[in-house]
Amino acid sequence: MRLRGLAAAVCMVTIFTSQGAAAETFSFASYGSFSSAGDISRTMLDTGTHERIHLNTAMMQKPRKVRRRSIPVRLNAPSATNLKTLIGWAESRTRGYDAIQHGAKKRPAKVPTHMTISEIYRWIARTPGQPHAIGRYQFIPSTLKSLVSEAGLGQDTVFTSRVQDMLADFLLEDAGYSSFVAGEISRHRFMENLARIWAGFPTATGQSYYHGYAGNRAVITWNEFDAHMKKIFPS
């Protein structure tokens, strides 16, 4: 199965460490109560300004032209929506779709959901030397460019919540979402795949796949992750 790691979604803006601090319990009931006004680093440990490390080293290079692909309709199912909610909780917390990596000292003039893809690219180009992870799923530049190409989006496309969710669907597919719901891979295999894309999730070892690299830590335990996945995918 092809995974999109090393440049996959997400740079943990700030994260818990299972050794240095207790992980905050996640629930879908409490997720909606997070304020959108706070600083995303407010409740998590500062890990510096490094962008998250992901699986596919080729994507750290200049993105090549990729073939456009479509996403299965079933990714609109409640289970996928709930999974993306869990991912968003781990990645962007209170800022959600308007999150900018806290280490970015030069922020864009607009919030992400009001920016076009072109405006995001210009912001990235004009502010070198700082992290640029953006949005609910903390897309880093190389991943964003690749996903935009795969989705066939124009640079005048606004980076709305709907667009961000659609781009995240590609990453779920890369993790094996369709194979999992079809019963072709186990829940634990799917969880491992997700953990290789989003460093906030633990592997079966209990640690992030990228534990200790650029400050990455899992924000929940493996058992907690498994419990959430059982609730999201009960059968």
Domain boundaries, the chain: 28-232
Model pLDDT for residues 92-140, shown as the tens digit of each residue:
878 899 999 878 899 999 999 999 999 999 999 999 999 898 999 989 8
Length of the chain measured in residues: 235
Confidence tier at 13 by pLDDT (50, 70, 90): very low
> Tell me, what's the pLDDT at 76?
60
pLDDT of residue 22: 41
Q: Full-prediction pTM beyond 0.85?
A: no
Which long-range contacts does 228-234 make (Cβ < 8 Å, 24+ apart)? 228/26, 228/86, 229/83, 229/187, 229/190, 229/191, 230/187, 231/28, 231/82, 232/79, 232/82, 232/83, 232/86, 233/79, 233/180, 233/181, 233/187
Tell me, what's the pLDDT at 38?
33
Whole-angstrom distance, CA of residue 32 vs CA of residue 78: 16
pLDDT value at position 212?
74
Task: Indicate whether 24 pLDDT > 70.
Answer: no
The model's pLDDT over 182-233, given as tens digits with 9 standing for 90+, comes to 999 999 999 999 999 887 899 999 999 878 765 568 888 999 999 999 999 9
Contact between residue 210 and residue 51 where contact means Cβ atoms under 8 Å apart: no
Residues sharing a CB contact under 8 Å with residue 99, sequence separation 6 or more, in sequence order: 13, 40, 91, 92, 93, 112, 133, 134, 135, 136, 138
Model pLDDT, residue 74: 55
Residue 34 has pLDDT above 50, yes or no: no
pLDDT per position as a tens digit, 43-63 = 232 333 334 434 443 333 444
Alpha-helical regions (H) of 42-186: 78-91, 117-126, 141-151, 161-174, 177-181
- Whether the CB-CB separation of 123 and 65 falls below 8 Å is answered with no
Q: Is the pLDDT of residue 174 over 80?
A: yes
Would you say 68 and 149 are in contact if contact means Cβ atoms under 8 Å apart?
A: yes
Report the pLDDT value the prediction gives residue 157, as an integer from 0 to 100: 98
CB 12 within 8 A of CB 92: no
Q: What is the pLDDT of residue 180?
A: 97
List pLDDT tens digits, range 58-94: 333 444 555 666 555 456 678 999 999 999 988 887 8
Find all residues with CB under 8 Å of 200, minimum gap 6, and list them: 10, 12, 15, 87, 90, 91, 208, 218, 219, 220
